[in-house]
Structure 1
Amino acid sequence: MKPLTGQPSIVGVIVSYRPDVEVLRQLVEAVVNQVDRLLIVDNGMQVRADTAASEKIEIITLGDNLGIARAQNEGIARARSLGATHVLLLDQDSIPEADMVVKLLAALQSLETTGVSVACVGPNYQDDRHANAKPFVRLKYLHFKRQPCAGDLVEVDFLIASGCLITMSALDTVGPMADDLFIDYVDIEWGLRAQSIGLKSYGVCTASMRHALGDSAIRLGTKSIPVHSPLRQYYNVRNTLWLCRRDFISWQYRAALMLRLVYYAGFYTVLVPPRITRLRMMASGLYDGILNRMGKYRGKN
């Protein structure tokens, strides 16, 4: 699949781990005709062979859960070998609209035409559990400010990985996803790394996708807050400490990340059961983060 001169070639990369078969099927059906090839990187040998019903689809089985960053990197490497000019990253629980990719590509090409160095572009996603959620984020003072869609494009500090359209040239410049993180903060780290060397990320308001953020949600006043598993909280705490030690992270971002960590630690331990398990996992994340023990969690859930 070598692209013609000047013609983009987009390879989709879906990372799966214990997927809901029906949701994965819907995702494949929604995206397969929007890309030139579709790769499903299976973190655990649980994707059925009949998922690859089209010749455009290829399943890459890793044999074990190696983490989302490693899976994305494996998919990107395969896409590069296929001659891709662009990679579209997707989570297993996202459903793009039928015109999402063409709108992302048009926005990216328009930005590049005007001389903007683009890291990635991503869609305006909706989660049915979070009414009127604003998906795009920028740091303002020491607060992560949700950005509304006031026009066609919104400049952001980073994007969630799912729905991200990235050029191979941007990946060559910024580098791969950080395997050490395993899961959590992978997309944030890459976006901030790109930003630190002058590449910009944009939300494309006209491109749409349904996406489930978190395992569930809890209401706190007028806000609906995503709830993750205790294991994800381990990674969140540990990876926050790791990210704060990166040279390219500004002091404002370090302060904001630590304030956010304190806020969510209090939220989860006070309001979300099982509280003791969550506290224990966050303490483990703090301990391993201080010791710089990265990769897959080694303890008991």
Structure 2
Amino acid sequence: MISAGIVLYNPDTEFLKQSLKALLPQVDNVCLIDNASENKSEIYQVINSFNLDSIKLIVNNENAGIAYALNQILTYSNLIQADWLLTLDQDSLVQDLLIKKYKFFLSSHSDERIGLVNCYPLIGTPRNEQLLIEKENDVMLPTSGSFINVPLVFGKVSFDSKMFIDCVDYDFNLSIRSYGYKIYLAPFYGFHHQVGTVSPTLSFMGKKLITFQKYSSSRIYYQARNSVYMMRKWRNSYFVRHFLERMLMYFIFHPSCIKSYGKSAINGLVDSTKISINYSNQNKPQN
């Protein structure tokens, strides 16, 4: 059985309808988690328009974060005895035959204990698919598009609810690897993914060289907080270095962000030292 899950927070309901139309023919059921959206009535209308028992909606009274909601999806998938779970962002749209492509890929790795496989997203102008390469144990794969081996990981691997949002997917991937399970990036395009608002800031001869995705101040806060949290939990400084490098680029090429981003980043870095680490999804907890 193949399950799919999407976490919703004030979604574009027209896009949600389009996403479900593309997804439902490929999976046995879809679990939607509404994280206290303000447009619940519109979400209900979209779901009711399909009139299918294969769509499960779980409504949270408050937004407890994407990690908490993803754990709800994983738990529901285990409850209905799903073999594999496809997780998607609310702004992602699967391509035809995605699940068949995943099954074909997995059939060529049937002797391996694979915890998760993802594929390349279609963003902007894609490269020739023949140039895409297979990658093994890349822990930087996103939640959207992830195809998770439910029986293998459930009860051991989980999403860290303390993180709320940002780096949640990387933590989950590291958790899978801590149990010795493999992660693969399959060499094909599988879904369209919308990125947030970007602002071109540097160009040469009319060609855009650097673009920055615009984030809210709250997202910058969680990126800062969770980068240190990840360093403390996994004893890996990559996430902090990556965050600081990105902030430096913002401040150099997008100075209007300095005040709002700087304050949020400082608050996140300060608060990161106050959070106790959740080691429950690690195979070998670090004291």
TM-score band by shorter chain is: 0.7 to 0.9
Q: State the alpha-carbon separation in 2 of the partners of residues 28 and 239 from structure 1.
A: 31
Aligned counterpart, 1:124 = 120
The C-alpha deviation readout for 1:29-86, integer Å capped at 9, x for no partner, is: 1111111001111111434212222322121111221111101111111121112111
- 1:256-271 counterparts in 2 under 5 A? 256-271=238-253
RMSD of the alignment, in Å? Answer: 2.4
Q: State the alpha-carbon separation in 2 of the partners of residues 274 and 224 from structure 1.
A: 14
Equivalent residue letter for 2:222: Y
Aligned counterpart, 2:45 = 50
Q: State the alpha-carbon separation in 2 of the partners of residues 73 and 14 from structure 1.
A: 11
Q: State the alpha-carbon separation in 1 of the partners of residues 182 and 193 from structure 2.
A: 23
Contact 2:201/2:253 (8 A) holds in 1? no
Q: 1:233 to 1:171 in 2, by over 3 A?
A: same
Q: 1:108 to 1:226 in 2, by over 3 A?
A: farther
Moved over 6 A (4+): none
Aligned counterpart, 2:282 = none
Equivalent residue letter for 1:26: Q
The C-alpha deviation readout for 1:164-218, integer Å capped at 9, x for no partner, is: 1101123226411000000000000111222233222111222421112344354
Q: State the alpha-carbon separation in 2 of the partners of residues 280 and 133 from structure 1.
A: 38
Are positions 1:13 and 2:11 aligned together?
A: no
Are positions 1:235 and 2:222 aligned together?
A: yes
Are positions 1:154 and 2:152 aligned together?
A: no
Are positions 1:279 and 2:262 aligned together?
A: yes
Greater CA deviation, 11-20 or 260-269?
Answer: 260-269
Q: State the alpha-carbon separation in 1 of the partners of residues 122 and 82 from structure 2.
A: 28
Offset, 1:158: 3.4
Offset, 1:96: 0.8
Contact 1:154/1:204 (8 A) holds in 2? yes
Offset, 1:256: 2.5
Offset, 1:277: 1.1
Offset, 1:267: 2.2
Equivalent residue letter for 1:236: Q
Aligned counterpart, 1:169 = 151
Equivalent residue letter for 1:17: Y
Secondary structure at the counterpart of residue 245 of structure 1: helix
- 1:70-219 counterparts in 2 under 5 A? 70-111=68-109, 113=110, 115-128=111-124, 131-132=125-126, 150=131, 153-155=134-136, 156-172=138-154, 174-219=156-201
Contact 1:34/1:101 (8 A) holds in 2? yes
Q: 1:218 to 1:169 in 2, by over 3 A?
A: farther
Aligned counterpart, 1:292 = 275
Q: State the alpha-carbon separation in 2 of the partners of residues 182 and 174 from structure 1.
A: 19
Scaled by the length of structure 2, the TM-score of the pair is 0.84
Offset, 1:102: 1.5
Secondary structure at the counterpart of residue 291 of structure 1: coil
Greater CA deviation, 209-218 or 284-293?
Answer: 209-218
Q: 1:282 to 1:78 in 2, by over 3 A?
A: same
Count of aligned pairs: 265
Could you tell me which runs of 5 or more consecutive residues in structure 1 were left unpaired when the two chains were aligned: 1-8, 135-147, 296-301
Q: State the alpha-carbon separation in 2 of the partners of residues 127 and 217 from structure 1.
A: 16
Contact 1:269/1:276 (8 A) holds in 2? no
Q: State the alpha-carbon separation in 2 of the partners of residues 86 and 243 from structure 1.
A: 27
Q: 1:122 to 1:37 in 2, by over 3 A?
A: same
The C-alpha deviation readout for 1:226-271, integer Å capped at 9, x for no partner, is: 332221111001001111011xx35xxx232222121112123343
Offset, 1:151: 5.4
Equivalent residue letter for 2:230: L
Equivalent residue letter for 1:55: D
Contact 2:212/2:250 (8 A) holds in 1? no
Q: 1:66 aligns with which of 59, 64, 67?
A: 64
Could you tell me which runs of 5 or more consecutive residues in structure 2 were left unpaired when the two chains were aligned: 204-208, 279-287
Q: State the alpha-carbon separation in 2 of the partners of residues 293 and 277 from structure 1.
A: 27
